[in-house]
Structures are given as C-alpha cells and as structure tokens.
Structure 1
Amino acid sequence: MSARICLAVATLGLLSRSTFAAPSSSTGHDILPPPPNPEPIKIIELPLPPVAPTREEGACTLDINPRRTGCIAVDPSLQGGTFLPDGNHVIATVNFTGAPAPPDPASVYMGMQMIAVRTNGTTFPNGDTWKCITCGVPDENKEGSEELTEYPQAFKDGRRAMAASNIVDCGDAELTSPECTPDKVHIHPIWWESGSIRELRIHPDNVHLGFSSFTQQNGALGQYAYFGRIVFNPAPKVGEHLSPRYEVVNVTRLFNPDAPQPVEVEGKRLVLNPNAIAVGELHLTTGKVRRLTQHPEYVDPLDISPDDQWAVILDTRGTDRQMWLSGMRGIPPVTDLITTSLTSATRNNGQRRFFVPWLIDYHGDRGSYFGQQINAAGDGTPGSINDPNWNARADPRWSPDGTQITYYQYLVVPPACGGQNPLPCPTSTAPGGRINRLMLATLTSRTPLAPQPIANVPEFIPWGVPVKPGDPLPIRPAPAPGVYTLKGKRSGSARVEIIGDGTTIDTVAVRYDRFSDDGINILRGWENVTVTRLSLSTSRAEWYSDLWSTGETRSSKRTGRGGFHLEIDSLVNIFKANGTMVTTIDGVVYKPPANGT
C-alpha cells in the first residue's frame, strides 16, 4: 500500500475541474484497461439514538427512550466518521438534547458527543444499536479539549479516536467494550506550537497526521496543509492549556514556494505545470501527482480503498450543478488565478449540498467511464437512498476489509428551500423527523480483503518545508502584472493580460487563437474576469466570455451583453448572481441556477 494521505486543498492554488483534461488517460499512458462493469451495491440507513421532539430539558422521555441512554435533536449536527478496526462499528459525533437536569444519571446525555454505531445488525449489551463513548466523562478528564465536532476518525488500536482537534482515549480498553466506561475515558486536546489546526487526518501508522491551518494574506483567506507526528505530553510547560495533551512535532508544510507552481512565467511566456503540487491526492513521500478524475463537475472529499485499487468520491457529477461554468473542455486554468474560491463555492447553496457518492477504479475517469454512482439503485422518492433532497456531506469512508463504505447525508432545510426560495421544503421520512442520516453501502460481490500493510513515511516530507515555531508564512507565487503568451501544446496560442497592483491580481483577460492542448479540440474567442474582494472570504466576479471550440465536440461558453456577475462567501456558499452565462456542448444547454437554488 502506497503512502497516501488525503488533505483539504487550499482554496488558493486549486485548479478548476476542466483543467488539464485528458479524457483518454488519467495516468499519462496511452493504453488503459477497460472500465469495470457495474457491481451490485446494497445500501441501508444505520440506526442513531432516538429523537427528542424539542430541545427542552426533559424532552427525552421514557416513552422515547426507555433505556434512558439519551436522545438527539431533529438536527443532530451529525458528522459521520470512520469504521473502527473490527469493521463492525462506525464512529460519529451527534448533538444530544432533551436530557433531564442533574443529578439525574441521564443528564450526561447532552451536547456534542462521540458515539459508536453497530453496522452488523447486532446490539450492545444494553440493547442499544449504538453507544455514547464520551457521555458522562468527568470534567477533570477533558481539560483543554474543544467541542467534538468534525471529522471523527478511529485509530487502528480501537482504543482511541479523534474528532476536531481532540483525541478520545480509553486507555487499555477498546472504545466499544463494556470496560470502556466514562471514568476511564479522557479527551485530550491536540496542540501545535505554531498555531491553530483543523481538518485533521490520521495517517494509517497511527503516529502521524495531516492537518491544515487558515491564513490571511493580501486581504484574502488562504490555507496551507501540514504533516507531523503526534506525541503525548502528560505535563506540558508552555501554551494556554497545561493539561495533558497530544502535541504535533516534526512538522512539514506541504507547500514549497521555490518548487514549480501550477502557473509560472518564463520571460513573456506563461507556462502551466500539471504536475505541480497543490495538495490533494498524491504520493506523500515523492510528491508525484496522479490525476484520478476528469469530469468537469466538482469533486472534493474522497477515500482510497485499503488495497489502493478503488476510490469513493463525493462529486456533483450527474447533478449538472456546475456544468454551466466548467462543462466546456480544453480551457487552460488561466482565469483560475483569481476565480478558484468563487467557482468552487458554487458547488453548494448554503447547507444544500449537491454531492453524490461515486465509486471509481484505480485508473480513474477515462473515455465514457466516470465511475458508478453508489446510490443509483433508489427510486428517487422521498426518503429513498437517492432522494435528491438528501445531500451527501464530507468524507465517505471504506471499511478495513474493503467491502463496505459509510457516508452521511443532510436533508434540505430553509433557507435552501421554502420562504423566498422557489424550491419547496421536503418532509423528513427519517425516524422522529430527523434531518441527518448515516448510510452504509455494502459491495455485495466483493471478497473481504486481508489486513493490508502500512507503508512507512519519512519523519519530514522531502518535497515540503520543515516548520519551526515562529517561521513566517510564505507568499504563494503568482505571475506579475503584464501581457504574456501561452502556447498550446499542440497548436495555437493565447494572449494573457494580467492586471494587479503587484501584490494581488484583480483582472485576467485572455484571447485564444486556435488554441489546443490535446490536438482534438480547437479553442477560439476571449474571456475577461475581474474579481473584487469584499471581505476575507467574500468576493465578487465580473465575468465576460465569448468562447467556442470545434473538433471532437462543438462547445461554447458565452455571457450576455451585460456579463455575468457572481458574489459568494466561500465559508457560506449562498449563490448570488445576476446576468447570464450559457455553456452549450453538442447542442445541450447549461445555465446557472437561480439565486438561492
């Protein structure tokens, strides 16, 4: 198994989903095996704690939960997580509510907690199909910890798990065992001397992790990815919280400003580097990049199978959510220099997500193969496995034996529906009217894998930059203002004008003259984009486009006379636009969604 890690990609430096498209090959070879045949997949909804009708004290009554083991809210803020190493449990974090007041023993079932859910149809000794791991943990056992919210992940020892920047530790007892009682559980914070950390990912070796940290540069929100080792410090001497904690040491920043960048300048020529590292899915030790997907829609969270032969991805493919923007192939990522944070944010509309789970083999998208939709077998009715009002959320996960996948979904709620939004709000068919659900997909024809070897990783990643406390953050290199020529790999060229103040780029104007990178599609026309930053996370784009291509497909991307104007906050993702932009591909027309949809 190769040493891989999947990390959140910094908004700056991401390339659009039409970038470097090579539909005939995702690995650089001319001959690839034929796509796999679709396989049978069975999907069920995993059980969660019962739902309290309100958040009022005592709303979780004996009639709702006679075992007095807690209730969750209608919106329990579910975050689905990984399988435990036995493959029979999935961990998650949920918001418990409606508990009685202390000193009632059931009062501990309140707030965001970590649970383990049985996946094999059996129950815990008390008859529940789930167990709350952190309910009732004494205050002295969780000093310095933060709320258990995002990205719950289990360690391979079965005795520890991580959520947000905390590690839940049950000592020598497995988290799901009767011996793991609240008094034995400790919730330790994870601390890094150089700053805050988020979006943490445990490496399979259980001693390293990847994480990201937000930055503010040139009036915009940025992000860098890091990799380091975790060590337990029972008696820290520095920092805000001096309780026992896990510390991140020997940290490498997974970005080197002196390495080749996605877009570079050589004299008056603009050069694109498809193998430049913008952290996503890559070989951790060498930094070698292998592209997995080619579809022009937006893919974000993914997980690689234990044997390294498959990926499960969440993608907007099949929904046409972004085809109006990215469906035209063969456009080099030049305007991406300023539009990435806006264009990527159009994948959502607030809390309405358009992600769908897909299964893709090792060789990735090729020809007409774009993977198999995992939940395609439903009938689309309310509450069905492919009900479009149930939206997949981040981070699908493989079981240790490679036969199952877990993912979780949220139901569309206001303001993404109802009120001024033209889309009506659906009625939940889940137990208690719950609007979150945890799903389990079983690949029924697969044989369970034997335990897979874990690759060693170097203590410092050789292509990254070791980080010491107090080191200044680098500035992401970008082309200076000027007029450049971008040569097509097969034919033609583009005139690129970059306008800015020398620190930031405000406008990119491109004119294409028979431009072609693949020798199949010929691009002509022009595109002009100006981006204004309204806040750290909010930008407005003024977009004008008149592009067309001939060859394998006949495509165009055109704005109306008044252009297309998009304003979006990348942390909220509410779609606000006016004007027109129409992309046409072989006669099929794609238009942007209406505001609020």
Structure 2
Amino acid sequence: MSTLCGLISALTAAAVGVAAASNPPPQPEPIDVVELPLPPVAPSDAEGACTPAINPRRTGCIGIDVKEFQAGDFTPDGNHVVVNVEFVGAPAAPDPASTYTGEQLILIKADGTTFSNGDPWKCLSCGVPPEQAMSLDPERDYPHVFRSGKKALWGHNILDCGGVDLASDECTPNRTHIYPIHWTISADGSGPGGVPREMRLHPDDVHMGWSSFTDNGGQFGYFGRLEFNPNPTVGEPLAPRYDLVNVSVLIDQSGKAPITVEGSELHINRDAITVGELRGFSGAGDEILYIGSSWESSNIDVFAVHVVTGAVRRLTSHPEYADPIAFSHDNKWFVVMDTRGSDRQMWMAGMRWIPPLIDMVAVTAASSTRNNGARRFFQPILIDRNGDRGEYFGQQVNAGGDGSNGSVNDPNWNGRADPAFSPDGTRIVYWQALVVPPACGRANPLPCPVSTAQGGRTYRVMLARLTSRKATKPAKVFDVPDYIPWTTPFPPGASLPEQFGVPDGHYTLRGRVSGVADVILEGTSTLGGSGSVSVSYRNYSDQTGYVLDGHEQVSAQIIQWDNLIDWSSDIVQTGVVQATKRTSPGGFHLEINAVTNIFNANGTLTTTINGVEYKQPANGT
C-alpha cells in the first residue's frame, strides 16, 4: 500500500512543482485484493474432458492456458464482471453441455454470491440461436459492458439482451442477439470494410473509438458513431449489424506536428495532438486517452485530449512504460498498467528531460523492450485524475502481498489489459497472466513458476477493494459531437494523410530554460521509422535544474516488425541530479521484434543516477 515515490531522486525533484502545489497528491489508502471465481479447469481440451465430476452443473470448463481469455469491466450494479473465455472439453452434441465450447462471453460474480443456478458465472453467448448470431466477427477481445447494462461490446460484435440487464435471469439465449460491427471504408460501400483494433466504447453508449494499422505499419486513431443496420444491402457481412458512421481520423486539422521545422531550427510542440494508439475515454467521456509522441526521450506515456477544445494533458510521466488505462466513472481517478517499480525501462529512459529526438527512429524499439515475450512487467497503479507530478507517482494497487508464489503481488503474475473501476468507484478489477515458457526456464529468464490458481490455470481475475472509500456517483456524461471539431473527417473512400516526418538536415533546438542542441537528421521520414539522429547538447535544459551536456546518436533500420538499432551515447546531466547515460566502447546494438519482444543486444547502455546504475536486461529476457 505504499506510494511509488522516492524510487530515485531524479523522480522526486520538482519537475512539475507548480502542478503539484496546485493539486496536492492524495495520501496512500488501504486496498484489499482478492481473486474472483472462474469456471473450473478441464484437464485437457479433448472432447468430453469437462466431466460431471469437474463441473456437476454441466455449465462448462475452461483451459489451463490463456489463449483468448480477457477480463473486462463491471455491470452497472458493480456486482458482475464481463469476461471473454474459451470453453474446452465439452461433450459432443446433442448433449446440452455441448453448447459450452469455444470462445464465449460470460459474467462472473464480484460480490461473493452466485447466480440462480448456483454458479458464480453465467454464459451470455452460449446457446444463442444461429439466426440471432449471424456472421459474427471472430475478433472478440476487450469485452465491455454498456453503461445501460443491457448490451456488451465483444470485440467487433455487440451482444444485446433484448432490453433486459445482462445479469438478469431474464437474459436468456433465446432473448439474446449478437451483431457484428462493420466499418465501411470503400467509396461504394463494398467489401468487408476496415480493420479496427482494440475498440473502446464511449460512456454515452453511442460513440466508439478505435485504432487501425496502416499498410506501412503505422497506426491512427478513429472516432465514430454506432448505428444499427437491420438490413444492409452493401458491404460484408450482409446480415443485421452495427455500422460505424460519421467516422473521423484523430488527426488535428491544424496540422501541428510534435516536432516542426522553422528555417534551421526545430521546435517541440507539447500541445500537438498525436494519437498514436487510442486507449479509451475519461470517466465522463470529455477526453480521449491515448499513447502519443513522447515529451521525454524513450519515455512512453499516456495522454488525454479534450474532445472539443483539443487541450492535451500528460497523465503519466514516470520513466517506465505505461499503457492500458481506465478512468473511474466519477472522473476523479484512473488506474494504469505500468512497469514502474520493475526498473525494466530505466536503463534507457531514467535520465529525465532529454528531448524526444532519437525517438524519431527508436521509439518502436523503446516500446518493444517493455516485455520479454510472454513475461510482462505491468502492475496496476492507482493515480488521481491530475496524473504524475512532483513526488507523486501513484500507488500500486496490489502492493500489499508478501511477494510469495501466487500472492497478489507475485511478480510472475503480470498485469494485462484492461483494468476497470466499479461504477461507484470503490473497486477495481484487473486480470493477470502467469509467465510461461519460453519467457522462463531458459538460461537467462527465471525458473518457471508453478501456478497456484484453480486447476493450474495461468490466468486470474483480481478484485481490489478500496476499503476506505465511500461510493460516488458517475459524472455527467459529456455530450460529445458526432464530429469532434479538431479531427479530420474520414468518410468512405477517403485517403489517409501522410504520417509525421521531419526533412533531413542540420538543425538547432533551443532549450526551454537554457542551452542548445545541435541535431542532424538523416532519413527520418516518419516518426519511429528508419534513419539516423545525431544530437549534441550544450548546457541544454528543458526543465529548471536538469542540464544536459554530451552527445547521442542512434541509427535504426526497421523491416516490418524487426528493429535493428545502433546507439552511441555519452550524456552528462547536472543540477538537481548527477547522472550519466553511456554506451560501452563500440556502442550499443539492439535487435528486437516489436511483436515478440525478445531482447538481443551487443554492447551496453547504462544510465546512472546519483550513483545508482540501471543496466539493460540480459539477452533473451
């Protein structure tokens, strides 16, 4: 239950002293964490392995491995959590239990009670008549309950229980319909449509945000409105569906980029809207949450942009990696999955207030080092709505255990996306996966742990009770317009704009406080693309008390998801902290795939802050 402040003195200095003074941080609070129930585990995936001895009620079994498992958020009463599972071992038809097979959407109890049949879970999608679930999209991730409690987002599908609550006994298979979601992108409306990823529902239950990859490996965020189409005549599938209409791409029409050129000078624009990957919405829906262009080198953070004004806020600033995030319904708190406390990223991001110049070629590599394949380093961090500031870096939700095998803070249990608050703000749900081979058991990774979860499964759903809190009411949902003013309309047939890039050249970047940086760019056609960045700092400071001197050069070759990085660094920081960021003779050479995340390097890159050394991970980890 301790706060994550004071990890190193560099983090506790007055980097954002004004914000801290005007928004004093909250005190740590008591948090009690328990595991929520799931269906029993079958010993194998073989037909009939889910025997009556394992599940006497014949309501399904799940497997040992994670597969397609993913936990979501709460129903409006706060007593149930929606979860995507994969049922295995069902008997053959016509046995009634044969319906509990494959990827399905369930509710699990979060209050210690059971449903009317005696189970602490209920399948929402099992047994729905085929004519009421036509042409379902196979993507069924990121489950989310509509705030009405009568529908659920299930990947690229919407499950509708005919006007009754999902948790009600009246929500039966015969009453349930499941509809695919379609995004028209061709001018004539033909074809299967666009390919959204990681869809997030706006609190108004009407609008949707999502991300989508480009053909060259880039990514944009989008915003649109859900519209039911009972009888489509064009596009695929030709079945009742929800269409995404009035779509905009989340690119600022003003054209302001995170780094711009004026003559021979570079300018870093912290007010630029750079939605790289959409992560959701604030509790009231007045802000879009996203991973955007870094404000500090190699420091991947979560930002928020107001849906009308376009005002940008940086929510996280700790040098570690932040990603999945969820706001409380009262709009006063958020919980983020973060690697802070693990030192996973400190070797490359621990020196504060280096401008994000090498990120033009190295940001993908920086983000890829956060994982080691199936081993992740995320833990849930509770932060108030004002975000990291001063000495405040939030509170680890599950810090109260003893760190032993299977405990709530066992580091072998890794946080996954997405966490969520109960509507009254008194509980948080999140899920974890246990590290498994090949991310353990080899030469460098730690030995593989033994699961303490029921049946030996390698995933679990955790409930954190904020025991000193009183229930709060949700904030009024923001009346978001169909077309957000600063975005760029993206009607069917539209072409995507070019991604951000800075022309080759020799530039000067002036520090916000003092000094200059001499910058040479070669081949940096897109942010995070191939090319080379060379920077020399002279008395450079973007933040009072943090002064940089020295040189850094990074060259990158990116082939699809493979990143080949050559890095030379010798930077000294003085002032509030005494720090260095240095590579070994001959430089640091990293090869890492952005999908598999297996670290493989020659040479070293080490950051030392006030005498504390932060070294890179070992190869294979």
Range of TM-score over shorter length = over 0.9
Matched, 1:588 2:612: yes
* Counterpart for residue 199 of structure 1: 198
Shift of 1:24: 3.6
Matched, 1:82 2:73: yes
Correspondence list, 1:448-459, <5 A: 448-459=471-482
Matched, 1:132 2:157: no
Q: Of 543, 546, 558, which aligns to 2:570?
A: 546
> Distance between the aligned counterparts of 1:375 and 1:505, measured in 2?
39
> Distance between the aligned counterparts of 2:502 and 2:76, measured in 1?
47
> Distance between the aligned counterparts of 1:273 and 1:517, measured in 2?
12
* Counterpart for residue 211 of structure 1: 210
- AA aligned to 1:223 is Q
Correspondence list, 1:76-225, <5 A: 76-77=66-67, 78-147=69-138, 149-194=140-185, 195-217=194-216, 221-225=217-221
3-state secondary structure, aligned to 2:220: strand
Matched, 1:520 2:521: no
3-state secondary structure, aligned to 1:349: coil
3-state secondary structure, aligned to 2:367: helix
> Distance between the aligned counterparts of 1:170 and 1:27, measured in 2?
50
* Counterpart for residue 329 of structure 1: 352
Matched, 1:51 2:41: yes
> Distance between the aligned counterparts of 1:28 and 1:395, measured in 2?
31
Correspondence list, 1:300-315, <5 A: 300-315=323-338
| Structure 1 residues 257 and 507: CA distance shift in structure 2, 3 A | farther
The answer on whether the counterparts of 1:498 and 1:505 sit within 8 Å (CA) in structure 2 is: no
Matched, 1:41 2:66: no
> Distance between the aligned counterparts of 1:421 and 1:216, measured in 2?
36
> Distance between the aligned counterparts of 1:43 and 1:257, measured in 2?
45
Identity, in percent, stands at 54
Per-residue CA shift, 1:202-256, capped at 9, x if unaligned? 1111110101111023xxx111001110010000011121000000001111113
Relative to structure 2, which stretch is displaced further, 23-32 or 322-331? 23-32
Correspondence list, 1:465-484, <5 A: 465-484=488-507
Correspondence list, 1:172-571, <5 A: 172-194=163-185, 195-217=194-216, 221-256=217-252, 258-279=254-275, 280=290, 281-500=304-523, 505-534=530-559, 536-571=560-595
- AA aligned to 1:435 is T
Shift of 1:451: 3.9
How many correspondences in the alignment? 573
- AA aligned to 1:45 is E
| Structure 1 residues 318 and 570: CA distance shift in structure 2, 3 A | same
Runs of 5+ consecutive residues of structure 2 not aligned to the other structure: 1-10, 186-193, 276-289, 291-303
> Distance between the aligned counterparts of 1:567 and 1:257, measured in 2?
36
3-state secondary structure, aligned to 1:300: strand
Shift of 1:145: 1.1
Per-residue CA shift, 1:355-397, capped at 9, x if unaligned? 0111111222222221111101000000000000000001110
3-state secondary structure, aligned to 1:352: coil
> Distance between the aligned counterparts of 1:73 and 1:147, measured in 2?
19
The answer on whether the counterparts of 2:558 and 2:564 sit within 8 Å (CA) in structure 1 is: yes
Shift of 1:420: 4.4
CA RMSD, 1 decimal? 1.6
| Structure 1 residues 501 and 399: CA distance shift in structure 2, 3 A | closer
> Distance between the aligned counterparts of 2:563 and 2:101, measured in 1?
38
3-state secondary structure, aligned to 2:131: helix
The answer on whether the counterparts of 1:26 and 1:364 sit within 8 Å (CA) in structure 2 is: no
* Counterpart for residue 599 of structure 2: 575
- AA aligned to 1:110 is T
- AA aligned to 1:407 is Y
- AA aligned to 1:89 is H
> Distance between the aligned counterparts of 2:151 and 2:45, measured in 1?
30
Shift of 1:505: 5.0
> Distance between the aligned counterparts of 2:567 and 2:500, measured in 1?
24
- AA aligned to 1:520 is G
Shift of 1:76: 4.1
- AA aligned to 2:617 is P
| Structure 1 residues 101 and 26: CA distance shift in structure 2, 3 A | farther
Per-residue CA shift, 1:71-103, capped at 9, x if unaligned? 000014320101011111000101110000111
- AA aligned to 1:222 is G
> Distance between the aligned counterparts of 2:495 and 2:12, measured in 1?
38
Shift of 1:521: 1.4
The answer on whether the counterparts of 1:27 and 1:290 sit within 8 Å (CA) in structure 2 is: no
The answer on whether the counterparts of 2:379 and 2:396 sit within 8 Å (CA) in structure 1 is: yes
Shift of 1:341: 1.1
Matched, 1:63 2:59: no
- AA aligned to 1:576 is N
Shift of 1:150: 1.3
Q: TM-score, normalized by length of structure 2?
A: 0.90
Relative to structure 2, which stretch is displaced further, 255-264 or 348-357? 255-264
Shift of 1:33: 3.6
- AA aligned to 2:210 is F
The answer on whether the counterparts of 2:511 and 2:540 sit within 8 Å (CA) in structure 1 is: yes
Per-residue CA shift, 1:242-299, capped at 9, x if unaligned? 0000000011111136421111111100100111112222212222111122211111
> Distance between the aligned counterparts of 2:348 and 2:524, measured in 1?
27
Shift of 1:482: 0.4
Runs of 4+ that moved beyond 4 A? 25-30, 501-505
The answer on whether the counterparts of 2:329 and 2:473 sit within 8 Å (CA) in structure 1 is: no
- AA aligned to 1:151 is Y
> Distance between the aligned counterparts of 1:52 and 1:401, measured in 2?
35
3-state secondary structure, aligned to 2:21: coil
Q: TM-score, normalized by length of structure 1?
A: 0.93
Per-residue CA shift, 1:172-215, capped at 9, x if unaligned? 22212222222222221100101111111111111101011110
3-state secondary structure, aligned to 1:432: helix
| Structure 1 residues 502 and 374: CA distance shift in structure 2, 3 A | closer
The answer on whether the counterparts of 2:557 and 2:563 sit within 8 Å (CA) in structure 1 is: yes
Runs of 5+ consecutive residues of structure 1 not aligned to the other structure: 1-20
Relative to structure 2, which stretch is displaced further, 117-126 or 257-266? 257-266
> Distance between the aligned counterparts of 2:97 and 2:139, measured in 1?
19
Shift of 1:26: 5.3
> Distance between the aligned counterparts of 2:18 and 2:311, measured in 1?
12
> Distance between the aligned counterparts of 2:419 and 2:17, measured in 1?
24
Which one scores higher on RCO, CA 8 angstroms, separation ≥ 6?
A: 1
3-state secondary structure, aligned to 1:34: coil
- AA aligned to 1:498 is L
The answer on whether the counterparts of 1:348 and 1:354 sit within 8 Å (CA) in structure 2 is: yes
> Distance between the aligned counterparts of 2:546 and 2:210, measured in 1?
39
| Structure 1 residues 99 and 383: CA distance shift in structure 2, 3 A | same
Shift of 1:29: 4.4
- AA aligned to 1:113 is Q
| Structure 1 residues 23 and 479: CA distance shift in structure 2, 3 A | farther
